[in-house]
Amino acid sequence: MRYLILSDLHSNLEALEAVLRAVPPGTCDRIVVLGDLVGYGADPNAVVDRVRALAPAAIVRGNHDKVSAGVEPADSFNDAARHAATWTLDALTAANREYLAGLPAGPIILDEVLELCHGSPDDEDEYVFEPTDAIEALRAARCNVCFFGHTHVQIVYWLSGSDFDVIVTGPDEETTIRVEEGRRYLINPGSVGQPRDGDARAAFAVFDSDRGEVTLRRVTYPVAAAAAKITAAGLPEGLARRLALGK
């Protein structure tokens, strides 16, 4: 089974369409989404509509989905994120707001093969940045392969007994990692719509459970067009500028 793994789309339609063009229909058997369909970007309805049309095999909610749908307050957000969430709440159609509000919390297990969450398998809103955070998350996971999002950083952690390592992707368009027997993996496919690892290209992953391989991928997209929409919508200018920086 081949899974297309998408996370942190953040209302960036240009980035999402570039990813979907890079993975033509029929290339993957199932699509999964790790949350944060909206927030920051200027196309919340178009992105939600596109995701709904894809009929994901599984999807979990992100913190921006909750706040932008009115499920939770924006108390923990910085000013730019709060502004974007408030704008998104007003911009969403009633149907799309209801859809986001009804998304399930992670973690969830799909086909008893892989686990999906937004923040970590222990807490859907937790950020996994440090090795200690990753080790705790790996120990909390119920499957040997767990995909997570939230940090917008494409990265892989693995644990086997007392052995632990971190794999960071480089400038290549693809990085393929073999899933080794006896190891537990915590994998972030990176962000489709707002990467923060210094690489402006949209990030995603493909997991081939039969071959035991994860391919982390990057694709270029028209960043300037996405940024111009953010500016035209009256959203904070910093949200437009950061797209080109990948930060």
Task: Give pLDDT, residue 112.
Answer: 85
Task: Give pLDDT, residue 31.
Answer: 98
Task: Give pLDDT, residue 41.
Answer: 98
The whole-model pTM stands at 0.97
What is the helix (H) or strand (E) element at residue 85, kind and residue range? helix 79-91
Task: Give pLDDT, residue 226.
Answer: 98
Q: What's the helix, strand, coil split of the chain in %, to 5?
A: 30, 25, 45
Tell me phi and psi for residue 174, to 5 degrees: -140, 140
Task: Give pLDDT, residue 138.
Answer: 97
Residue-level pLDDT, tens digit, the chain, 247 residues: 999 999 999 999 999 999 999 999 899 999 999 999 999 999 999 999 999 999 999 999 999 999 999 999 999 999 999 999 999 999 999 999 999 999 999 999 998 889 999 999 999 999 999 999 999 999 999 999 999 999 999 999 999 999 999 999 999 999 999 999 999 999 999 999 999 999 999 999 999 999 999 999 999 999 999 999 999 999 999 999 999 999 9
Please check whether residue 19 is in contact with residue 6, taking contact to mean a CB–CB distance below 8 angstroms. yes
Query: What's the Cα-to-Cα distance from 28 to each of 24, 25, 32, 129, rounded to whole Å?
Result: 8, 7, 11, 29
- Classified by CATH at the fold level, domain 2-245 comes out as Purple Acid Phosphatase; chain A, domain 2 (3.60.21)
